[in-house]
């Protein structure tokens, strides 16, 4: 579909998952009998558009992640690199590693989002090729309140103008490198990758995503994910 364009994926999988409780990192918890991270990697492994994948792992779990890559035959995974202190550091290490494979577009995806589908991957890549930077996001279902102090409402933003950012997020490779280099120079850490690109003056295209594309960060999220997976499997069986 994107002939002549190389597509890379960086998946930071170095989080400790403290909100999950226990000693097990959330990306290695079981979902449908498989570690969550294998669902995330598998979606890109199966995508015809993706050429190369790099994973960033916590030092304590590098060998475990490499074992999973071998066990599930993730042939597009080129390297497992060491993650950093923060997510942004892990992504940077992944970007430096995937540079070797000369991607035109790079997608950055959370290891604990197991339900990204191939249609959205294709749409996101297309948008990044056209607009240089694109993210997947959904509209909030609830009214959002802002509070600056003491737990009192300061402002109620117009919900029609709000989006909840998800991953993957996709960028021209040279652009995301420039954005990360500036963030490093400035000592800036963002809560996603798109904000780094925004800081260098680039407009980021929004592609409407799916409410199924959840990020698993709490035990409640894992329960919801089991339900989503069960529904997906039922739909596959019926089709």
CATH number at residue 104: 3.90.550.10
- Global pTM reads 0.95
Per-residue pLDDT, 3? 80
Domain membership of residue 2 (yes or no) is no
Q: Is the pLDDT of residue 153 over 80?
A: yes
Q: Would residue 68 count as lying in a domain?
A: yes
Number of domains in the chain: 1
Average pLDDT over residues 186-204: 98
User: For 189-217, what is the mean pLDDT?
Assistant: 98
Q: Which range of residues forms the domain containing residue 50?
A: 7-145+166-238
* Predicted local distance difference test score (pLDDT) of residue 239: 65
- pLDDT tens profile 97-147: 999 999 999 999 999 999 999 999 999 999 999 999 999 999 999 999 999
Given a cut of 90, whether residue 38 has pLDDT beyond it is: yes
- Mean per-residue pLDDT for 185-195? 98
Mean pLDDT, residues 176-196 taken together: 99
Q: Is the pLDDT reported for residue 18 higher than 90?
A: no
Residue 154 inside a domain? The answer is no
CA dist 103 to 11, 136, 187, Å? Answer: 15, 20, 26
Residue 101 falls within a domain, yes or no? yes
Q: Is residue 157 part of a domain?
A: no
CA distance 74 to 43: 10
23 falls in which pLDDT band (50, 70, 90)? Answer: low
Q: What are phi and psi of 201, to 5 degrees?
A: 90, 15
Structure tokens at 54: 């790099």
Question: pLDDT at position 233, please?
Answer: 87
Query: Mean of the pLDDT values across residues 199-226?
Result: 97
pLDDT at 22: 60
Lowest mean pLDDT among 16-30, 84-98, 142-156, 167-181: 16-30
The whole-angstrom separation of Cα 168 and Cα 125 is 10
In a domain, 177, yes or no: yes
- How many whole angstroms separate alpha carbon 42 and alpha carbon 122? 15
Residue 80 belongs to a domain: yes
**Model confidence at 1: pLDDT above 70:** no
Contact between residue 104 and residue 147 where contact means Cβ atoms under 8 Å apart: no
pLDDT of residue 42: 98
Average pLDDT over residues 142-163: 93
């Amino acid at each position: 579909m994107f002939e002549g364009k190389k597509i890379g994926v960086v998946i930071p999988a170095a989080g400790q998952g403290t909100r999950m409780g226990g000693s097990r990192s959330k990306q290695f918890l079981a979902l449908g009998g498989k570690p969550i991270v294998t669902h995330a990697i598998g979606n890109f492994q199966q995508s015809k558009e993706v050429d190369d994948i790099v994973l960033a792992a916590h030092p304590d779990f590098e060998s475990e992640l490499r074992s999973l890559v071998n066990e599930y035959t993730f042939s597009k995974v080129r390297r497992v690199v060491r993650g950093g202190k923060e997510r942004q550091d892990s992504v940077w290490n992944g970007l430096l590693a995937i540079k070797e494979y000369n991607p035109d577009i790079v997608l950055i995806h959370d290891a604990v989002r197991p339900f990204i589908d191939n249609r959205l991957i294709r749409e996101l890549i297309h948008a990044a090729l056209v607009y240089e930077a694109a993210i997947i996001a959904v509209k909030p279902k609830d009214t959002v309140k802002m509070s600056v102090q003491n737990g009192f409402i300061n402002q109620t933003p117009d919900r029609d103008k709000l989006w909840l950012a998800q991953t993957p997020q996709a960028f021209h490779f040279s652009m995301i490198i420039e954005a990360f280099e500036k963030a490093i120079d400035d000592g800036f850490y963002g809560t996603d990758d798109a904000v780094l690109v925004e800081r260098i003056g680039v407009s980021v295209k929004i592609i409407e995503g799916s409410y199924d594309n959840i990020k698993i960060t709490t035990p409640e999220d894992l329960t919801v994910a089991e339900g989503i997976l069960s529904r997906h499997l039922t739909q596959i069986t019926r089709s």
